[in-house]
Amino acid sequence: TRLLGKVLLEAVGKPLIILMLERVSRSKLMNEIWLATSEERDDDLLSSVVEKAGYNIFRGSLDNVLSRFWHIGKQEKADAIVRLTGDCPLHDPKVIDAVINHFIKNLKNVDYVSNVLPSTYPDGLDTEVFTFSTLDFAYQNATSRFDIEHVVPSIRKMAVEKGRESNFFGPADFSHLRWTVDEPEDYELIKKVFEDLYPVKKDFGWMDVIAWQTKDPQRLQINSMHKRNAGLTKSDKGRNK
């Protein structure tokens, strides 16, 4: 990322991570919400902000992100895990619940469900659901640096190979829209979204953002120069290291 401390940048007077947690807390199907971060001093401020706001936080290995998820799942006796990324302040609880519901309906036949294979939602609404047993297997058998730094690639690969993966599709293809925060232009866009929509309707939905963005063509251009999942693409080159 070129935007250090991005999740603590503010919009409408609140850190982006808190705005995201406010939004995802409206999910009706997630039993608990945890922020998984590292034990490094660099994450002390993030941990403090999140704890003071009343949200659950787990601190673990900086590099072994997979272990953070495993420890939370084990500690909370979870049957399934919903993975969301903290640099996506526009996460929509209705989208999250739709993906979870798709997982529940197909539980006998799936280990992993997402809305990213292929992506039809804007970049920033990525939602992945997988069984704890699949996470446990991935954790116990992870061998590469890539697999421990990135939670889902090995889980996803296993599910696809076993034919136990399913995708939840949006109503149309909006995958060209970028709502994640990784670059200064991303922050500029997200800040404008919250400034315009949050004061009127705190629980505005993703279709409200679509309407806002398409109303003015310039809003579509603010961060259009950045590619979807560019960071993961770069790190994927070192997968076997």
Q: Give the domain range for residue 123.
A: 6-235
CATH for 102: 3.90.550.10
Q: Could you tell me which residues come within 8 angstroms of residue 136 by beta carbon, excluding any fewer than 6 positions away?
A: 70, 73, 74
Answer yes or no: is 1 within a domain: no
With residues binned 3-state (H G I as helix, E B as strand, rest as coil), the percentages for the chain, rounded to 5, are 45, 15, 40
145 inside domain = yes
pLDDT digits (tens, 9 = 90+) for 60-92: 999 999 999 999 999 999 999 999 999 999 999
Contact between 74 and 45 (Cβ < 8 Å):
no
Q: Is residue 184 part of a domain?
A: yes
241 occurs within a structural domain: no
Q: What phi and psi values does residue 64 have, to the nearest 5 degrees?
A: -90, 75
Q: What is the pLDDT of residue 238?
A: 42
Q: What is the pLDDT of residues 171-211, one digit of tens each?
A: 999 999 999 999 999 999 999 999 999 999 999 999 999 99
Quote the pLDDT of residue 228: 76
Model confidence pLDDT, tens digit, residues 120-149: 999 999 999 999 999 999 999 998 999 999
Q: What pLDDT was estimated at residue 241?
A: 36
What's the structural domain count of the chain? 1
Beta-strand pair 80-83/56-60: unpaired
In a domain, 83, yes or no: yes
Q: What is the mean pLDDT of residues 22-45?
A: 97
218-234 pLDDT per residue, tens: 998 999 989 877 444 34
Helices (H) and strands (E) in the chain, counts: 11, 8
What phi and psi, each to the nearest 5 degrees, are found at residue 123?
-65, 115
| 144 occurs within a structural domain | yes
For the chain, the residue count is 241
129 is a domain residue: yes
